[in-house]
Amino acid sequence: MKALALAAAMSLVPTLAHANDRDLLGTSPERDVGVYVLLGILALDTTFTVYNLATLGERKSDLYALGETVLTVPQTLLFGALASMADDDDAWIPATLAVWTAGIAAHGIYTLATDAESGGAAPRTVMFSLGSQF
C-alpha cells in the first residue's frame, strides 16, 4: 500500500504556470497527465525493486506478490508494444522498461508459485532420465 501511496503522491506534484503555458518539464498542460502517470509508474517500479532487493532471501506475502504481478504485467505488455512500434534509435527506452517490469512481474509470479509453508522453497519439478548415453 505504501507503493500505491507513493505513486499517487508523485502524480500530484504541482507544476508552475509560465506565461507561455508551459510547465517545468517543458510540456503543454494537456500532456502533463501522461508525464505524471509515467513518473508514478516509474516510482512504483522503483519501490518494488528497492523493496525486493532490501528483503532479498525473504519470502514476500501472497498479497504483495499479487499486487506486484497485477501492477507490472500490464506495464510489461504496454512497454513491449511501444518498443516494437518505436524507431530504431529510440526503441531501447521502452525495451529497457519492458525488461525491467517483466523481471518484477516474474518475481511476483514466482512468489505466488512457491509454497509459503516451506519457507519459499522452489516449486516442485519433475526430472526425467534419458539414460546413460546423455
pLDDT in tens, 56-115: 888 899 999 999 999 999 999 999 999 999 888 888 988 999 999 999 999 999 999 987
Counting Cβ atoms within 10 Å, is residue 5 exposed (0-12), middle (13-18) or buried (19+)? exposed
**What domain count does the chain have?**
1
Residues of the domain holding 23: 2-113
> Stretch 1-29: mean pLDDT, rounded?
53
pLDDT of residue 125 exceeding 60, the answer is: no
Q: 94: which 3 cell numbers?
A: 521502452
| Residue 29 φ/ψ, nearest 5 degrees | -60, -30
Is 8 domain-assigned? Answer: yes
Does any domain span residue 118?
Answer: no
The number of beta carbons lying within 10 Å of the beta carbon of residue 66 is 15
Residue 41 within a domain: yes
Residue 55 lies in a domain: yes
Give domain status of residue 129, yes or no. Answer: no
